[in-house]
Amino acid sequence: MPNAKDLIERARMFEERAETAADPITRQHYREMAAHYRSLSVEHQEVTRQREHEAAH
């Protein structure tokens, strides 16, 4: 499973692709993929924090 940094890196990669995409549909797709990976990163961080909290108690 990728860690949060890996997911953020993938989001950055898709943002870069969106900036260089020739057509609007592809650009929008890449932006949606970037948003998806950012969202996954946040979820990953929340789950990790929750597990650490549970392990501490």
Query: Which residues, other chains included, contact 17 with Cβ-Cβ below 8 Å and sequence gap of 6+?
Result: 30
Query: Which residues, other chains included, contact 12 with Cβ-Cβ below 8 Å and sequence gap of 6+?
Result: 34
In whole angstroms, give the CA distance from residue 33 to residue 57.
Answer: 36
pLDDT digits (tens, 9 = 90+) for 2-32: 788 999 999 999 999 999 999 999 999 999 9
Q: Are 22 and 28 in contact (CB under 8 A)?
A: no
pLDDT digits (tens, 9 = 90+) for 23-57: 999 999 999 999 999 999 999 999 999 988 889 88
